[in-house]
Structure 1
Amino acid sequence: MTVTAGTPAPPAVRPYESYVYAYPHKTAYRPLEDRPSLRALWAAEPKDALSLYLHIPFCEVRCGFCNLFTRIGAPEELTTRYLDALERQADSVRDALGDEQPVRFAAAAFGGGTPTFLTAGELERLCDTAEKRMGADLGAVPLSVETSPATATADRLAVLADRGTTRISIGVQSFVDEEARAAVRPQRRADVEAALGRIRDARIPVLNIDLIYGIDGQTERSWLASLDAALAWRPEELYLYPLYVRPLTGLHRLGPAVTGPEARALEDAAWDEQRLRLYAVGRDHLLSHGYEQVSMRMFRRADAPREQEGPEDYACQTDGMIGLGCGARSYTSALHYSFDYAVEMREIRSIIDRFTATEDFSRAEVGRYVDADEARRRHLLQSLLQAAGLPVADYRARFGTDPGADFPAELAGFAARGWLDASAPDGLLRLSPSGLAHSDALGPALFSPGVRAAMAAYERK
């Protein structure tokens, strides 16, 4: 795609508008008046390559930047009641999938929260739910599990390794203790290193380490120190996340460092510049150490085993996703659905309590229907945010049209900003290095007017 000479420069945009890990976002979901039955929703869906996601909404602490659906601690046997409800939900969902055609799971993941908040015995029970109730063969498919330094204990890791875990992802964020405290993440580097040693001892094939850039006081030198500390463990994957301060999180409650619109604008611009600079430093450092870039955030060691073919950074967001747990999403081709969503701790506790008291999981309660236009947007967005880009022939085969014809204004805008790779082979729509760096501005630019309006009308809780 080309831009003619004399095209006026597009207006400036902030590079960090929103991290797009799912589309439409949960804040666009609403209570479903028809409460469709799961059996009807899944009746015509392909079931030979489903993904399974089990959500555990508990953490030992809540980091200052976190807006995930999770609560601190689990008093009064709450984990037992939660796993009881998860089993009831699994039975209901598996019944809804039916046996008219083969049901097969091609991938599985445990997320949260922190799944390893559960004890070793509870993790065994969680695996049994996936295998004995849902029918997923955890030893035969990729299984990814999230953990934290405090909960990556030897007994828990032994269970996960025994049950077929192929990838463990640990949120470190920073190896510099002062930066961890600035992000309201209480941890010591010594504890992080000990946890990483236990993970490597467990011999789980793929280790992913999450790091964050843009923390208050972070410099290029301290960022490189964290990167080198992570590289010392030769992780198969690294995710580099820009820091966000989202509403209702701990960092947001601390308030802005400055007041007044002009001062805030200057501070925001300086923070954007810091994050862009640290992103480039991190990207170049990893590329020079034998890693390949998969997306803006994901980097894989070039000799690391591949869990699956095709897009991986967003692979869990494809159609055919079965989510179990009160923070999990499920995706059919026509409807994305889940339970209610919140960030504020009191609201999260209330939703978890309602989930554990639920007996009938046979209907979808909250969600958003996905029409043909939204399906096109989602496919373009998810594919374009991958470093490999979007083969136009794949898009044409699925939808019968071309992305350039469906989204001319959006793609022309990206080209005008230099976000599209003009050197990409014919038939491949791919981001330039600048485009990848601006993924968090590019992704939201593809949101439909309807999704934007629903997200804007969402009442935060």
Structure 2
Amino acid sequence: MSTTDTLRAHDDAATDPGAEPVTASATTPRPYENYVYAYPHKTAYRPLPDRPALRDLWAGERLDALSLYLHIPFCEVRCGFCNLFTRIGAPDELTTRYLDALDRQATAVREALDGAAARAGAATVRFATAAFGGGTPTFLDAAELTRLCDIAERRMGVRLTDVPLSVETSPATATADRLAVLADRGATRVSIGVQSFDDAEARAAVRPQRRADVEAALGRIREARIPVLNIDLIYGIDGQTEHTWRRSLDAALAWRPEELYLYPLYVRPLTGLGRLGAHGDDAWDDQRLRLYRQGRDHLLAQGYEQVSMRMFRRADAPPQGADDYACQTDGMIGLGCGARSYTSTLHYSLDYAVDMREIRRIIDTYTTTEDFSRAEVGRRVDGDEARRRHLLQSLLQARGMEVADYRGRFGTTPAEDFPAELARFAALGWLAEDADPGLLRLSPEGLAYSDALGPALFSPAVRAAMAAYAWK
């Protein structure tokens, strides 16, 4: 899983619980059913009646290649397509109170990890990657960003200069003083949500910004000399054409970003666009698929490599991520309101919402919480769900999945565990016919249909839980 996908996996509010699975009798499904950044999705989580102690949850878990994620749930505005866990603004010193709570949570979590390691006679807890997401982490001012880094280092024990550190930003908050803090503390990657370089398209997506301000922010990021710049763009905006999409692509390419993410626009419940009554149809699907292929082909011609449906990396870009970290098997520690944590048998988080009033309530509760020693909301991950998660997170990457890795972990093969699904994917032309026999890999058409293929692997139980989720 890529760095930005890891960030979204914590903030994920992007999956539509009502999407229908691919069935044996179905024709080619609609290409845009769900984002699939994490599995199971948060809408399948429920309050944990036993509220297990973190010290017990992490006992026996692998602790030498963890990933750390810190969530900052604040933005200066909320885009019309956004249904992530974030609120607009932070009145009455809310950021200070939030960082105080984050400090308390980090202290409690590190104590739990150390206790679990001591019980197992394991070596010191070690982190392989770190990320700050949101929301917009750079909503914090320079002094607050310094404190955020201190929490990661002094409370959690991760040396930020020794691991890849990815941080999300926005055009309005990518200021020189904030970027200087991130560069000094070891940030190796900055991801900026531009979405469109066309001012009219930005307005259509309910994202008030001017191209001049975007270009100025990109200039400041390059001046900060952070090794990897990622630019996010969105296709499928109302009024967008092949011509305007190409202009946004070329405007981004002018900065020679090491990474580019191309996202299809989704309209979800309780978002600004959702409240405006925007909705999808076959013509919109056709438009998004056409623009995706145009963007993919243009980036490939410009020397970028496709990493997943969304992610493209410049061929000469410096590597990101630790060689020994595997998102399918290694643990994740998430701190903050919108963060998720993963053990091998339980995924857990705090409460989750999309509606602004509910988000404010959850943040206010978080800032007054004193005891962070237990898991409150989550979902158990049994053997079948672990197989589905491994297959999803591997197959949706362009490089594919080594069957031997799957067999080594589970003692079976994907063909044995998911014969009907894989047969269906093959019939649709989604599997690469020229792949090595030991490699399960998607074809270009399969990558294009990643947002239909992923949901087809959801278990009936997870799908039912997602469908029963009451949006708030």
Q: Out of 371, 381, 389, which is 2:382 matched to?
A: 371
Normalised by the length of structure 1, the TM-score is 0.94
Question: In structure 2, do the counterparts of structure 1 residues 311 and 255 end up closer, same or farther at CA, with 3 Å as the change threshold?
Answer: farther
Structure 1 residue 54 and structure 2 residue 65: aligned?
Answer: no
Is the counterpart of residue 153 in structure 1 residue 169 in structure 2? no
Preserved CA contact (<8 Å) 1:9 1:416: no
User: SS of 2:344's equivalent?
Assistant: coil
Give distance in 2, aligned partners of 1:42 and 1:446: 27
Contact 1:176 1:226 in 2 (8 A): yes
CA shift for structure 1 position 426: 1.1
Q: Secondary structure of the residue that 1:139 maps to in structure 2?
A: helix
Aligned to 2:320: 307
8 Å contact 2:394–2:401 — kept in the other structure?
Answer: yes
Report if the CA contact (8 A) 1:320-1:332 is conserved. Answer: yes
Identify the residue that residue 280 of structure 1 maps to in structure 2. 293
Amino acid at match of 1:194: A
CA contact (8 A) 1:311 1:383 kept: no
Q: Deviations over 1:261-295 (max 9, x none)?
A: xxxxxx60000000000000000000000000000
Cα shift readout 1:215-266 (whole Å, capped 9, x = no counterpart): 0000001000000000000000000000000000000000147xxxxxxxxx
RMSD of aligned C-alpha atoms? 1.3
**Residue in structure 1 matched with residue 418 of structure 2 by the alignment:** 407
Q: Residues 33 and 452 of structure 2 are in contact (CA less than 8 Å); yes or no, is this contact kept in structure 1? A: yes
Q: 2-side partners of 1:171 and 1:318: how far apart?
A: 29
1:252 aligns with 2:281: no
Partner deviation per Cα, 1:437-459 (whole Å, 9 max, x = no partner): 00000000000000000000000
* Paired amino acid for 1:333: S
Aligned residue among 184, 187, 196 for 1:162:
184
Aligned residue in 2 for 1:329: 340
Partners of 2:356 and 2:196 lie apart in 1 by: 25
Structural mapping, 1:40-439, within 5 Å? 40-98=56-114, 99-100=117-118, 101=122, 102-256=124-278, 268-308=281-321, 319-439=330-450
Amino acid at match of 2:113: L
Name the residue aligned to 1:261.
none
Residue 9 to residue 371, structure 1, CA distance change in 2 (3 Å): closer
SS in structure 2 opposite 1:85?
Answer: helix
Q: Which of 42, 45, 55 is residue 26 of structure 1 equivalent to?
A: 42
Q: How far has the Cα of 1:307 moved from its partner? A: 1.0
Whether the 8 Å CA contact 1:10–1:417 is kept in 2: the answer is: no
Separation in structure 1 between the aligned mates of residue 327 and residue 255 of structure 2, nearest angstrom: 26
Alignment deviations for residues 409-446 of structure 1 (CA, whole Å, 9 cap, x no partner) = 11011011110011111111000010000000000000
Between stretches 194-203 and 421-430, larger displacement belongs to 421-430
Matched residue, 1:14: 30
Cα distance in 1 between the residues matched to 2:220 and 2:406: 43
- Tell me the distance in 2 between the aligned counterparts of 1:36 and 1:290: 49
Counterpart residue type for residue 61 of structure 2 = E
Q: After TM superposition, where is structure 1 displaced by more than 3 Å over at least 4 residues in a row?
A: 309-312, 315-319
Work out the CA distance in 2 between the residues paired with 1:153 and 1:418: 46
Contact (CA 8 Å) 1:211, 1:241: kept in 2 or not?
A: yes
Rounded Cα–Cα distance in structure 1 between residues aligned with 2:278 and 2:63: 48
Residue 11 of structure 1, CA deviation: 1.8
Partners of 2:48 and 2:389 lie apart in 1 by 21
Kept in 2: contact 1:57–1:327 (CA 8 A)? yes
CA-to-aligned-CA distance 1:315-340 (integer Å, 9 cap, x gap) = 66754100000110000000000001
Once the two structures are superposed, what CA deviation does each residue of 1:105-150 show, in whole Å capped at 9, x if it has no partner? 0000000000000000000000000000000010000000000000
Distance in 2 of aligned mates of 1:305 and 1:353: 40
Matched, 1:37 2:36: no
CA distance in 2, matches of 1:309, 1:45: 19
Q: Which residue of 1 aligns with 2:6?
A: none
Q: Separation in 1 of the partners of 2:233 and 2:164?
A: 23
CA–CA distance in structure 1, aligned partners of residues 247 and 388 of structure 2: 39
**1:310, 1:447 → 2: CA distance?**
28
In the alignment, the residues of structure 2 paired with residue 10 and residue 87 of structure 1 have an alpha-carbon distance, to the nearest angstrom, of 50
Secondary structure at the aligned position of 1:186 is classed as: coil
Aligned to 1:443: 454
| Rounded Cα–Cα distance in structure 2 between residues aligned with 1:353 and 1:82 | 9
Q: Secondary structure at the match of 1:218?
A: coil
Identity of aligned residues (%): 80
SS of equivalent to 2:378: strand
C-alpha contact (below 8 Å) 2:341/2:347 kept by paired residues:
yes
Q: Do 2:337 and 2:366's aligned partners in 1 also have CA atoms closer than 8 Å?
A: yes
Q: Deviations over 1:356-375 (max 9, x none)?
A: 01000000000000000000
Q: 1:137 to 1:309 in 2, by over 3 A?
A: closer
Q: Is the 8 A contact 2:133 2:167 kept in 1?
A: yes
Q: How many residues align?
A: 443
* 1:10–1:413 contact (8 Å) kept in structure 2: no
Q: CA deviation at 1:13?
A: 1.1
Quote the Cα distance in structure 1 between the aligned partners of 2:300 and 2:48.
Answer: 46
In structure 2, give the amino acid aligned to 1:185: R
Query: Deviations 1:363-407 (Å, cap 9, x if unpaired)?
Result: 000000000000000000000000000110110011110000000
Q: What runs of 5+ residues in structure 1 fail to find an aligned partner? A: 1-7, 258-266
Q: Shift in Å at residue 56 of structure 1?
A: 0.1
Tell me the TM-score normalised to structure 2 length: 0.92
CA contact (8 A) 2:65 2:128 kept: yes
Q: Distance in 1 between matches of 2:402 and 2:293?
A: 26
- Aligned partner letter, 1:38: L
Q: Is the 8 A contact 1:171 1:210 kept in 2?
A: yes
Aligned mates of 2:192, 2:72 — CA distance in 1: 15
Q: Deviations over 1:74-119 (max 9, x none)?
A: 0000000000000000000000001523101000000000000000
- Opposite residue 76 of structure 2, the aligned amino acid is E
Inter-partner Cα distance in structure 1 for 2:392 and 2:421: 11
Cα distance in 2 for residues equivalent to 1:328 and 1:56: 9
